[in-house]
Every structure is written in structure tokens, then in C-alpha cells.
Amino acid sequence: MGICVKEFDFIDRYLKQEIYGAETILGVGDDAAIVRVPIGFDLHISADMLVEEHHFFGDDPPETLGARILAVNLSDMAAMGATPRWALLCAALPDLDEAWLAPFCHSFFALAKQHQVTLIGGDTTKSEVRTFNVTLMGLAPKDLALKRSNAKVGDDIWVSGRLGLAAFALACIWQNEQEVPAAVFLACEQVRTAPVARVALGEKLLTIAHAAQDVSDGLVQDLLHILKASNVAATLWADCVPTHEFIATLPNKYQYSLAGGDDYELIFTAPKSQRDAIEKLSQAQALPLSLIGVINMGSGLDIIDAAGQPVSLPSFGFDHFA
């Protein structure tokens, strides 16, 4: 362990950072922060917690962990179509070791700056197990949001990027996988440790898509949330879901692409009339957007492969208490 700092030195030296935007009235340092929601906007609020040994490994590098803790929350804003603006960071730590905290904070604030998100407060406390909670607030035009309950019969189902990479990296770590080429593991490990939240995509989808959700627990499980909330059914074309080309050769490939979590891509539904707009958006953002299914009347999810045969999965996704 390196040199430890005192709680208030930590707050003063590491957590009082740049304030973005005139709507941030008061940041870190008082009993509460003050923000002003502009007229014509709604405030979107989300929280996501990361606990050592449950969501990250004790030896995951602080250089990526700080950003990851923010990224998983940015992803929730992206899934609503909101623009992230303010963050609260609650941290429970065994010690205030600068050698660990400095790179952690550096990576957190580098990503915050990229998105012009101001850290406006939080709490710091001691605990044996490192635990972080970020509460994130964002803005979207009044009454516009990519709610899970808004999927419509006949909508296309789309997904951004590639799925299953983060879950495959985890499986490699747990199973000490020898057969996997190093470059494949590194590409997947990059997604697990440094996921990219699709914030710019979400903002653009606000006027294109009906419903959206970020894939944090597994595509099928997360899509089922949309179906349930919208009271609709769907057909999912398993072989249209993009994954890493190495994962696509595995006998249990669907377990990663359809049920693997932690990739933080977006699934969304949109009317067929938006196909051109979605293709253009994909090009503009240099981000693959793939058509993977259709919303139907009724309830339940049919998953079929390229030959039209039903696909069965041992699990639909991650459940903390399963």
C-alpha cells in the first residue's frame, strides 16, 4: 500500500474538479449541490453500484475502473436518450491509498470531461470491500424519452455494436481458457474493463426510436424487459446478432451473444419507416447498427437461427440472486 490521505484532503484535492454549464449552481463542498433544470427539459436520474468481486476484480486496474463506474451510468442515460449532466459518487474504501485513488480519479474525470458531466457531490466512507455508487442526472426535452414501455407492434428491433465480448472475457478469466488467441482475449477484455456508453447514439435515437434499453445483463433478458413493459411479443434472429468472429465459431456462441452481459450496447425498437434514418445514423457515428428482430402482437419471445430453427438457451442473462 502507498501513501494514504485524509478524507477531506481527498475530497479537496481529488474530487473538486471542473464545473460544466451555467445550470450547475453549486458543486462539491457544501451540504448539498444545487442544479437548475432548464425550462422545457425533464430531469432523468439513475444509479448504478459496483461492488468488488461482484462487478469488478480487486486487481482490475484503477486506470480503467474509474471510467467504467461512470460509463455504466452514462449507459443508462443513453438508453433513455438523455444527455448526462451531473454525477454523485459514493465510495466505500478500505483506505485512501493515493497510488490507487489518483489513477482511479484521473480515469473517472477524463470520461466526465469528455461528456461535460460535473461531479457535484457524493459520500466517502470506510469499508472492507470497495464499493462505488454513481447517481447520474441528465436532461432530455420535456416528455421525450426512450421508455421501455413504448415498443409498438411491427417495430424493428436493432442493436448497436457487438455483443458477448465482455462475458467471453469473464469466462476466459474464470475458466483460465488456454485455447483463446491472446488478441481475441484482449479485444474482449477491453470491452469488459472499458465499455463505451452509447450516449451520442441515444441522443439521436430520441426522435427516431420508440423504446430502448442498454444491454447490461444479457440481450434476451434485457429485451424481455421491453416486451413485458410494452405488452408485446417478439421474434429475435439469433444469427443477426453481431459478436466477435472468434465467439461466432464456438458451439455455445449464443450463450455469449444472446445472454452475456456487461457490453453496454443499446437495443432499441423503431418503426420500419426509420430504416434509412438508422442506416445514416450508423454511418455518421461509425457504429454498426444491426436489425435483429421484430416486435409482434401477443407475449413471449421466439428466438430462431438462420435456418428458422428455434434456439434454446440455458440462461437468458445475469441475475445477482439466481
- Of 1, 22, 31, 179, the residue at the interface with ligand ADP (CB under 6 A) is 31
Enumerate the β-bridge partners of residue 140: 42
Applying CB under 6 A, which of residues 91, 101, 139, 220 lies at the interface with ligand ADP?
A: 91
Cβ-based neighbour number of residue 123 at 10 Å = 10
Name residues contacting ligand ADP, limited to 124-183 (CB under 6 A). Answer: 124
> Residues for the chain: how many in total?
322
Dihedral of the alpha carbons of 241, 245, 251, 257, in degrees to the nearest 10? -30
Per-residue x/- track, 214-233, ligand ADP (CB under 6 A) = --------------------
Per CB under 5 A, does 30 bind Mg ion? Answer: no
Closest separation between CB of residue 247 and ligand ADP, Å? 37
CA dist 185 and 273 (Å) reads 39
In this chain, which stretch among 25-33, 47-55, 165-173, 183-191 interacts with ligand ADP, using CB under 6 A? Answer: 25-33
Residue pair 133/33 in contact by the 8 Å Cβ criterion: no
User: Using CB distances below 5 to 8 A depending on partner kind, what does residue 31 bind out of ligand ADP, Mg ion, none?
Assistant: ligand ADP
Which one of 37-45, 121-129, 169-177, 274-282 is the stretch in contact with ligand ADP (CB under 6 A)?
A: 121-129
Which residue, 122 or 202, has its beta carbon nearer to ligand ADP? 122
Radius of gyration of the chain (CA): 20
Among all chains, which residue has been given the C-alpha cell 430502448? 212
CB of 123 to Mg ion, least distance (A): 4
By the rule CB under 6 A, 102 interacts with ligand ADP:
no
What residues from 120 to 149 belong to the interface with Mg ion (CB under 5 A)?
Answer: 123
**66 is a contact residue toward ligand ADP (CB under 6 A):** no
Minimal distance in Å, beta carbon 44 to ligand ADP?
20
Which one of ligand ADP, Mg ion, none is in contact with 250 (Cβ closer than 5 to 8 A by kind)? none
Regarding 62 and contact with ligand ADP (CB under 6 A), the answer is no
94 contact, one of ligand ADP, Mg ion, none, CB 5-8 Å limit per kind = none
Find the shortest distance in angstroms from Cβ 78 to ligand ADP: 22
Q: Which of 9, 95, 123, 319 binds ligand ADP (CB under 6 A)?
A: 123
Q: Is 15 in the site for ligand ADP (CB under 6 A)?
A: yes
119 binds ligand ADP (CB under 6 A): yes
CB of 130 to ligand ADP, least distance (A): 12
Task: Confirm or reject binding of residue 266 to ligand ADP (CB under 6 A).
Answer: no
Residue 121: name its binding partner from Mg ion, ligand ADP, none (Cβ under 5 to 8 Å by kind): ligand ADP
Q: What is the 3-state secondary structure (H, E, C) of the chain?
A: CCCECCHHHHHHHHHCCCCCCCCEEECECECCCEECCCCCEEEEEEEEEEEECCCECCCCCHHHHHHHHHHHHHHHHHHHCCEEEEEEEEEEECCCEHHHHHHHHHHHHHHHHHCCCEEEEEEEEECCCCEEEEEEEEEEECCCCCCHHHCCCCCEEEEECCCCHHHHHHHHHHHCCCCCCHHHHHHHHHHHHCCCCCHHHHHHHCCCCCEEEECCCCHHHHHHHHHHHHCCEEEEEHHHCCCCCCHHHCCCHHHHHCCCCCCCCEEEEECHHHHHHHHHHHHHCCCCEEEEEEEECCCEEEEECCCCCECCCCCCCCCCCC
Binding site for ligand ADP (CB under 6 A): 11, 15, 28-31, 89, 91, 119, 121-124
Binding site for Mg ion (CB under 5 A): 123
